[in-house]
Chains A and B, each alone.
Chain A
Amino acid sequence: MSILEVRNLRKSFDGAPVLKDVSFSLEKGECLAILGNSGSGKSTCLRCINLLERPDGGSILFQGEDILSRKTDENRVRSRINMVFQSFNLFANMNVLQNCMIAQRKVLHRGKEEAKKIAMENLAKVGLSDKADAFPSTLSGGQKQRVAIARSLCMNPEILLFDEPTSALDPMMVAEVCNVMAKLRDEGVTMVLVTHQIEFARKISSKTLFLYSGVVDQFGDTGEVFAKPSPKFAEFLAVEKSM
């Protein structure tokens, strides 16, 4: 059984269709890269999987369970499928350690000591043990994003969604964050990545999906997709390369 199966997903905003018909599936331990032009629906697709947006139609099966069903506890689903944002979204009123502990305490009901231990382990994993007491406003962009990743890892999510995690960062910081993500891939964390860093996506992902104005244009193993790009994907790659 696939860990995630998206079928015929549709979503429009104020009558303007963003996702027209999106289907794909993902196995445990895989890393899926979603590529596409701005406005092609990449982020909307991720936000639907995290239930930040309600799709208009289609279904999303997570471990075989339809998470769009009315009976689904969406908070439980979100705690299993975490999201890392372009703008980090660290809680400004809490320090790094508190950022990493709050969901563990309130959602997973872990004890204080346990939550702290897990938070420190994950901060060590992203190389930020020394920043536990710092407030988000004092961190660099790359550090913020690594804290955001550690915060999600503390929840032991089944799937981690990355919504353009490096788009707000300068090249040095991009490298920091990419290294952390490569490490997670090697550890077998299931990931879905929306990015404009095509070379990085190609390196890290096992599957690639190319979205073109709300429709899946190409989907398959990353090696194959890049070796035999569809006409639209080839054009996309050429434009991105010339930048």
Chain B
Amino acid sequence: MNLGEDIARMLSTYWQQFLLGLAGTLLLSVVGTGIGLFLGIFIALGKRLRPKKEDPWYLKIGKGFLLGLSSTYSAVVRGTPMMVQALLFKYGCMMLGVNWNNILPGIDVFNGWMVAGLIVITLNTAAYMGEVVLAGLNGVDVGQTEGARSLGLSANQTLWSVVLPQALRNAIPTIGNEWIVNIKDSSVLNVIGVAELYFAAYNAANDSYAFMASYLIIAVIYLLLTLLSNLFLKVLGIKLEGKHVFRFFHGRRAAA
């Protein structure tokens, strides 16, 4: 049998499975990156906490606790493979009496395992996003904070209105990178039965014995997805740059 015929046969027979798998992969990468970024902001804020000498004792303990918690979370999650995390999550839930198999049963893609997969990829991405946001925050000129504080804005107002928008703007390329990593790495979630693109190809291949054709098809789909995502990010970057909205070292550059 030749490969070209195999591919044509696979596409005509299993196109629905591949399409559903694609939907699953997109869902995992978009939700994981989006909510992961949101959670990552808080991890970054936790890692920036510094107990000060003049703080009252309860603030010192509170800050120290949150600093330790976010640092530990970040180190553990970034230090273990997502595949292992997914399995630990699956069997951990089972030990606690939660079987994701029984949640949303009988649904094709968006079943209990997809929910579990979304949780795993979101929690995993959050740890990486914490580092991304932290780098973004550290990159914003301290003058922006001082300018805001000197006008009477509180530390919180300064963070949410002045510093964080600039940090996120500057982190867009890295955030985009995380998204592309998630498109590809969501494939490991097949170990707990999440119906994404790899899972679809695996089933189709075992069903038809056309292994090479199946995996070649999804390789091309993954490649197209990441190329399109790159293009989207590039356009987004040009759009933002063209508006002169942010030039975030402007103060320092002018002062030099």
Contacts and interface: CB of A to CB of B under 8 A. Distances in A.
A144 interface: yes
What range describes how many residues of A lie at the interface?
35 or more
Contacts of A52: 146, 149-150
Nearest to A76: B152
Contacts of B254: 87-88, 141, 144, 168
Given A87-B251, A87-B254, A135-B245, A92 B144 contact: yes
Interface residues of B, number: 30
Given A79-B151, A79-B152, A168-B254, A89 B144 contact: yes
B149 to A, nearest CB: 6
A86 B150 contact: no
A24 interface: no
A107 B153 contact: yes
A137 B152 contact: no
B250 A137 contact: yes
A93 B255 contact: no
Contacts of B141: 87, 89
Contacts of A76: 152
Contacts of A86: 255
B147 A102 contact: no
Contacts of B143: 85, 87-89
A85 B146 contact: yes
Contact of A90 (B147, B152, B154, B244): B147
B246 interface: yes
Nearest to A86: B255
A103 B244 contact: no
Interface of B: 54, 141, 143-144, 146-154, 157, 161-162, 165-166, 169, 243-248, 250-252, 254-255
13 contacts: A80-B152, A82-B151, A85-B143, A85-B146, A87-B143, A89-B146, A90-B251, A92-B247, A103-B148, A106-B153, A106-B161, A135-B244, A141-B254
